[in-house]
Structure 1
Amino acid sequence: MSWSRVILLVFVGINLGDGFKQPARDRQRGALIGTLRTLQHNVSGTVWAVDEDKLYIEDFTYDGRGPDAFFWIGNDSQPSPRGTLIRYPLDTPDGKPAVLSRMDRENILLHLPPGLKVTDMKWLSVWCRRFTVDFGHVYFPENLDPPRKRTLPEFQRLGHGIRSGNITILDAKTFYIPNLHYDGLGPGAYFWVGKGTKPDPKGHKIPNEMGSLDVLRAYEGEDIELQLPENLTVYDIDYLGVWCVQFKDNFGHVQIPRPDELWVPPSLGQTRVKLDELFEAYGEEIEETDRNAYLPLPTPARPGSAAPESPQQPPPHVAHEEEEDEEAEAEPEAEPEAEPEPEAEPTDHAGSQTDSDSGSDPQGGSNNGVVGGSNYKGGAPSLLALPSYFLSLLMPLLLLSAGTAAGVGPLL
């Protein structure tokens, strides 16, 4: 045997061996992209395209020691700072992208930011923004064919006002039925699936949009989603319809393509996240104030190069004390509580007791007090110290007394 034939057989054998390792398509995972190449921090896992804007990583592992690591995607020839951040998890308490934590052989689902398609991307990386380092990556194949939603015709209109918009297979277990109408008068009507060209007694009922197996109610132009139960998928059925068990009557149905004609996304829970929730998580791609959260951080200065000047930051404990001082200055000082007035002790000094309305607090006439705003020391207050309204009352009496005492009669 010539060397050329040996080389050809080895080459064919390698290709066949690779082909048997992983199928290009998997109904439970999606389209195979490849395995993450481990560069740092034990990054590993197998990446699949769930549909045009979602990725599934099987058995993802990462030690969580990167200071600023995220899933990072782009269409340059290799991972670079010009990529785009993919949030994981999608929801965070503060609304900001979360730095990747430690994971050990976990299965995760990634939602690409609105507007990005896996067919336009060239790589996925676990990327550290702070140090612009690639911890591990996978390149996308050029002929990537991700699963896609499949649009079907509307329900056939056979009875009880059944009609709808075009029905969509969202994933292998989920149907979306827009603008559904049904009069609700069927005595034993259910959503029905099975094998064959149309509904018959050999099929079986499936839960309604609320997960209930109750007899169907009336629908008046509603949009609903139906989930196939347990391990049943669209690859196992030939139709979806509304069937009356009591009268064995088909109110309307739609035919499902054959399994070899279907290539729909696997059911991994991705349909539970609606588009408005995705836009909310990514800030409608993205709020201007938070746009820098999705851009790469500046490259840190290399040893020996001049680092850009930055204001000196106080140590954490000093900064905390300064914050407390600022808070204390910002708060208005509380006025000291007035001490209760001591009870006046009984005394024999005349004039030491003052009117309670004067606001004074003399004790036995020996302490300073205030009457009508004037100061005095013990004894009876002078006439000049009395308030004017007291003087107006006393003056006529004083003049009357003075005239009588002088023998000239009242002066008034």
Structure 2
Amino acid sequence: MASSWTILCVLGVLAVSSTDAVYKGTYIGKFSTLHHDVIGDVYAIDNITIYVEGFSYDGEAPDAFFFAGNKTPEPSNRGFIIPDERGRSEVLGPYRSQNLVLRFPKTKKGQRSLNDVQWVSVWCRKFAIDFGHVKVPRGIKLPQSQVAIGLESDSPQMRASAVMIADTDTFVVEDFSFDGTIPDAIFVMGSGNADASGSQVPDEKGSLNPLRKYNKKTLVLPIPPEVKGQTIQYFGVWSPSKGMLASVTFDPNALIPPSVKSLP
């Protein structure tokens, strides 16, 4: 840790080193350029969210949408609209080298996802024309949040129903309770063994003060800047006087979603 306490806790893989380009998720491919100057590179942030980098389209078609489907191997009208970057299912206007985050829609039948589609297209429904598309490879490995259970201790009394690595910036401690009887307890995360030293995690208010008493509170905690881009394997509650009080571990090879806030 960067303060007087040396510690750390786990959390999954942040699959890019500090010397690499910004991690954008799993690369799916490049839009083919068929009509209306469509270009762009497509990444999977997770199974329901894509990132389109450098997207361009002249906006001149009367009924064009981001569109996806699995009923046919090539783009067709047998698909569904992916809402635009504002979450709207409206006819697309012009874009010029823009970076977009697009989320698949939820329907009465359930959540649409990349697991369900063979292609993503810029598609004109009125004239049934594909302006450009990208194929979703079979068996593609998609980033996903990682969940661990088992953060608990009888002395002190401590429980959490789950700890989740939400993305490369954030993890969530669900239903966290702590009796506050250890006055120097703090959140920690790191690589290697869960009893190794590492980095302190600020609490949900951004404070590095020792933990106060909690009663079934869900906490959203930031990954410290000094460990972003590193392989993180454990998360725990640590006491400089008593050591690791409780911890959970994660798969160091897991593919974690990139934080949307970190994307260009």
- TM interval, shorter chain, is 0.7 to 0.9
Partner of 1:189: 185
Match of 1:221 in 2: 216
Change (3 A) 1:84 1:178: same
Structure 1 position 269, deviation (Å): 4.5
Distance 1:154 1:63 in 2: 52
- SS of aligned partner of 2:158: coil
Gaps of 5+ in 1: 1-25, 271-412
Amino acid at match of 1:216: L
1-side partners of 2:115 and 2:212: how far apart? 42
Partner of 1:49: 44
Q: Cα deviations across residues 292-340 of structure 1 (Å, max 9, x unaligned)?
A: xxxxxxxxxxxxxxxxxxxxxxxxxxxxxxxxxxxxxxxxxxxxxxxxx
Q: What displacement does 1:37 show?
A: 0.4
How many Å separate the matches in 2 of 1:184 and 1:99?
Answer: 55
Q: 1:139 to 1:238 in 2, by over 3 A?
A: closer
RMSD, aligned CA: 2.5
User: How far apart are the structure 1 equivalents of 2:226 and 2:46?
Assistant: 20
Kindly provide the amino acid, as one letter, of the partner of residue 204 in structure 1: S
How far 1:234 sits from its partner (Å)? 7.5
Partner of 1:406: none
* Correspondence for 1:204: 199
Deviation at residue 231 of structure 1 after TM alignment: 6.2
Structure whose residues are more often strand by fraction: 2
Cα distance, 1:27 vs structure 2 = 8.8
Does residue 249 of the first structure (1) align with residue 243 of the second (2)? yes
CA distance in 2: counterparts of 1:101 and 1:214, whole angstroms? 49
Please list the CA deviations of residues 374-412 of structure 1 after superposition, one character each: whole Å capped at 9, or x if unmatched: xxxxxxxxxxxxxxxxxxxxxxxxxxxxxxxxxxxxxxx
Which structure ranks higher in relative contact order (CA pairs < 8 Å, sequence separation ≥ 6)?
2
CA contact (8 A) 1:161 1:182 kept: yes
Within 1, Cα distance between the matches of 2:136 and 2:191?
37
What amino acid sits opposite 1:105 in the alignment?
S
CA distance in 1, matches of 2:230, 2:251: 9
> Within 2, Cα distance between the matches of 1:60 and 1:248?
53
* Residue 263 of structure 1, CA deviation: 2.0
Contact 1:151–1:169 (Cα < 8 Å) also in 2: yes
Counterpart among 144, 156, 159 of residue 148 in structure 1: 144
Alpha-carbon spacing, 1:126–1:212, altered in 2? closer, same or farther (3 Å)? farther
Q: 77, 80, 95: which is aligned to 2:76?
A: 80
Give distance in 2, aligned partners of 1:119 and 1:73: 11
Pick from 48, 65, 69: which aligns with 1:70?
65
SS at match of 1:119: helix
Aligned with 2:44: secondary structure? Answer: strand
Q: Report the Cα distance in structure 2 between the residues aligned to 1:184 and 1:98, rounded to whole angstroms.
A: 52
Residues 45 and 142 in structure 2, CA contact (< 8 A), matched pair in contact too: yes
Structure 2: give runs of 5+ residues left out of the alignment: 1-20
Q: Measure the CA separation in 1 of the matches of 2:245 and 2:22.
A: 31
Matching residue of 2:167: 171
SS, match of residue 108 in structure 1: strand
Distance 1:135 1:194, change over 3 A: same
Distance 2:180 2:92 in 1: 50
Cα shift at 1:228: 0.6
C-alpha distance in 1, partners of 2:120/2:102? 11
Distance in 1, Cα, partners of 2:29 & 2:74: 15
Are the counterparts in 2 of residues 172 and 265 from structure 1 also a CA contact under 8 Å?
Answer: yes
Aligned to 2:6: none
TM-score by length of 2: 0.79
- Would the aligned equivalents of 1:27 and 1:265 in 2 still touch at CA under 8 Å? no
Aligned CA distance change for structure 1 residues 40 and 210 (closer, same or farther; 3 Å): farther
User: Any conservation in 2 of the 1:169–1:264 contact (CA below 8 Å)?
Assistant: yes
Give the structure 2 partner of residue 317 of structure 1: none
**Aligned twin of 2:232:** 237
Identical residues among aligned pairs (%): 35
TM-score, normalised via structure 1 length: 0.52
Q: Is residue 63–residue 102 contact of structure 1 (8 Å, CA) maintained in 2?
A: yes
1:296 paired residue number: none
State the Cα distance separating 1:42 from its structure 2 match.
Answer: 1.3
Tell me what 2:133 maps to: 137
Whole-angstrom CA distance in 1 between matches of 2:36 and 2:195:
55
2:117 corresponds, among 113, 118, 121, to 121
Q: Aligned partners of 1:106 and 1:128: how far apart in 2?
A: 20
- CA shift for structure 1 position 193: 1.6
Q: For structure 1, which segment, 116-125 or 204-213, has the greater mean C-alpha deviation from structure 2 after superposition?
A: 204-213
CA 1:129 to 1:231, structure 2 compared with 1: closer, same or farther past 3 Å?
farther
Match of 1:299 in 2: none
Q: Secondary structure at the match of 2:115?
A: helix
Pairwise CA distance, 1:88 = 1.2
SS of structure 1 residue aligned to 2:211: coil
1:104 aligns to 2:100 (yes or no): no
* Greater helix share, structure number: 1
